[in-house]
Amino acid sequence: MIESAEEFVRLRNSEIQEEYTRAAHDEAPIEVWNALLENYPDMAFWVAQNKTVPYELLEVLSHHEEERVRSMVAMKNKLKEPLLLELASDTSDSVRMSVARHKNATLTVLKKLKSDSWGEIASVVSDRIERGNYKLTKTF
């Protein structure tokens, strides 16, 4: 377990593979995640990348000013329909494409993207709907 924001930063910046990997896989208390975002805003992407980051933090990070942070959030397997719907309206094409391809995207989410301004997204969505390749139940 990661015990402090400083420990996370040290692990993330380490050149030792085992330590670097811990930053992506180890859990941390919510206080540590919050301290990271407050005191080390440049670590937001790496917080979003962590496999154990709490859902409530993903909700916060989904509003981050950096597109790459929101894109990382949009790729997280644990996303549920309400957050996917929110991210489906993101200004970033890459975030919306991640939502269009997300394994938990419901028909409601895909329909929101069906007329996307970027034709590639609309095409991915139309294909998924046509094949019935979407989550049948809401993921709450």
pLDDT along the chain (140 residues), means of 10: 98 97 98 98 98 98 98 98 98 98 97 97 98 80
Tokens of 5: 């924001």
Q: What is the pLDDT of residue 137?
A: 73
> 31, 6 in Cβ contact below 8 A?
no
Instruction: Count Cβ atoms within 10 A of the Cβ of residue 51 and give its class: 0-12 exposed, 13-18 middle, 19 or more buried.
Output: exposed
Residue among 104, 107, 140, 138 at smallest CA distance from 125: 107
